[in-house]
Amino acid sequence: MVFAEYLHQILQFGHAVISLTGPIVHNSPARMDRTHLLSDQDEAHPGPSCPAGSYADPNTVAKDGATAPPADMMPVVPGYESLGPYVIPPSDFGPTQPQAPSRAPERRFDIPAITEELAQEAFIKYASSKCCYSSKPAKEMVFTDLQSLNTYRYRLETFTESRTTEWDSEPYNGQVVDGFGVAPGPWSIPVPIPSLFQDCQKAVRVPHTSTVKGCHSCLNLGRSACRRCVNSGRTQCAFCGGMGRTASNRCSPCHGSGMTRCHSCGGVGSITCTTCKGQGKLLCFIKLKITWKNNVYVAVIDKGSGFPVELLDRISGEKLLTDMAPMVYPVVSFPDSSVNAESESAVREHQAQFATTCRILQQRQTIELIPITRVHYVWNEKTHIYFVYGTEHKVYTKDYPVKCCCCSIL
């Protein structure tokens, strides 16, 4: 009864569209019976070519393949009563408190100032890289002061694992149905951990949750009505626009009817169901999605030097400390107290954010020393400042003394 009503509605809708778009030649199928709708023998037959860009297949879907039926059609599996995108809290949170380090670093980390020769070489190279800058100030300047700035970059990485569950399906082709037994809990399913501190995703099938269901997309038929021709097998002629004539001549592709065979379905009026791939049945199961994410906290400790710290994002420094553990302890004995404060804030923030929703697999904290030298110099009886930063000895300045005439004109 359900199928009869469904088919009757499709055919009625198809006739309504056909009557609006134009006449149909008498020797072409204006409708399909039940046998025709269910037929798998019909393939897309080549039809008259259409102008480039005039054809877009409405039957194409963004995600090809099976999708799970609505949740209310699926059985309730013990332990999986609430499926969806929400993260499942882990059953074992691991260590709740990190172990304090046995020894603290004793050395002091001081940045040696670069030499005047290196500072001038970097400045000349910088000026030469700018088409509008004259290299004369860089070659003739007189140094008045070189100040090394203790600049540190603290980084905390927290590598976490989170899990979610949802119904999924695939076309049923007679494969084994694993639907007997007790399904293990989401966090009881062993999944190999990928490389640490690298984002990764994986999906696995939860054992003993499989079941076979009729395809909800095509009502178990294996075929769906063609969206382009709305089940009629005919579409408006692209050459004459449904008029049956071009200028004063009868339209050849449609033989004057204004309608041509549908290119999407080859005139059949139906296409193979994209959900079940023509099988009419789906093998449904609960899918466990595992997400590994490297969560990063970065802080640059700057002492108000006037240097834009955002330039340090791609600059390398010298690593002074690396600490890795399932849960790290905040740095407490670094010579610069600002670094200790940033470490404590970062560790607390990540523990509060991830400890109860994800499984923290590993943490790593590093401290880098980034060499920055502020250079004061005099040229043409005026004082100027520039910075040499990073192990790459890059240069930053806001007020280069002399620019070429082309830059002045611009």
Tens of pLDDT, residues 335-349? 889 999 999 999 999
Q: What is the mean pLDDT of residues 172-200?
A: 94
Share of residues in the chain with pLDDT > 90 (%): 45
- Whether 274 shows a pLDDT value over 70: the answer reads yes
The pLDDT of residue 355: 87
Closest CA to 38 of 270, 344, 282, 325: 270
Q: What does the alpha-carbon distance between residue 359 and residue 92 come to, in Å, rounded to a whole number?
A: 8
- Whether 48 shows a pLDDT value over 90: the answer reads no
Burial class (CB in 10 A: 0-12, 13-18, 19+), 66: buried
- Whether 261 shows a pLDDT value over 70: the answer reads yes
The pLDDT of residue 164: 94
Bridge partners (DSSP) listed for residue 246:
249
The pLDDT of residue 65: 52
The pairing of beta strand 281-301 with beta strand 142-171 = antiparallel
Three-state SS for the chain is CHHHHHHHHHHHHHHHHHHHHCCCCCCCCCCCCHHHHHCCCCCCCCCCCCCCCCCCCCCCCCCCCCCCCCHHHCCCCCCCCCCECCCCCCCCCCCCCCCCCCCCCCCCCCCCCCCHHHHHHHHHHHHHHCCCECCHHHHHCEEEEEEEEEEEEEEEEEEEEEEEEEEEEEECCCCCCCCCCCCCCCCCCCCCCCCCCCCEEEEEECCCCCEEEECCCCCCCCEEECCCCCCCCEEECCCCCCCCEECCEECCCCCCCCEEECCCCCCCCEEECCCCCCCCEEEEEEEEEEEEEEEEEEEEECCCCCCCHHHHCCCCCEEEEEEEECCCCCCCCCCCHHHHHHHHHHHHHHHHHHCCCCEEEEEEEEEEEEEEEEEEEEECCEEEEEEEECCCCEEECCCCCCECHHHHHC
Three-state SS for 204-263 is EECCCCCEEEECCCCCCCCEEECCCCCCCCEEECCCCCCCCEECCEECCCCCCCCEEECC
Q: What is the mean pLDDT of residues 231-244?
A: 85
- Whether 4 shows a pLDDT value over 80: the answer reads no
Indicate the pLDDT class of residue 79, thresholds 50, 70 and 90. Answer: confident
Indicate the pLDDT class of residue 208, thresholds 50, 70 and 90. Answer: very high
Indicate the pLDDT class of residue 361, thresholds 50, 70 and 90. Answer: very high
- Whether 213 shows a pLDDT value over 90: the answer reads yes
393: region left, alpha or beta (phi > 0 left; psi from -120 to 50 alpha): left
Q: What is the mean pLDDT of residues 9-25?
A: 37
Total-model pTM: 0.71
In degrees and rounded to multiples of 5, residue 311 shows phi and psi of -70, -10
In this predicted model, which residue has the larger pLDDT, 237 or 91? 237
- Whether 104 shows a pLDDT value over 70: the answer reads no
| Chain mean pLDDT for the chain | 80
The pLDDT of residue 30: 33
Q: What is the mean pLDDT of residues 136-159?
A: 92
Q: What is the mean pLDDT of residues 76-82?
A: 88
In this predicted model, which residue has the larger pLDDT, 47 or 396? 396
Q: What is the mean pLDDT of residues 266-290?
A: 92
- Whether 331 shows a pLDDT value over 80: the answer reads yes
C-alpha pair distances (Å), 24 with each of 18, 19, 29, 239, 271:
8, 9, 9, 16, 21
How many C-beta neighbours within 10 Å does residue 247 have? 6
The pLDDT of residue 238: 84
Q: What is the mean pLDDT of residues 42-71?
A: 47
In this predicted model, which residue has the larger pLDDT, 237 or 32? 237
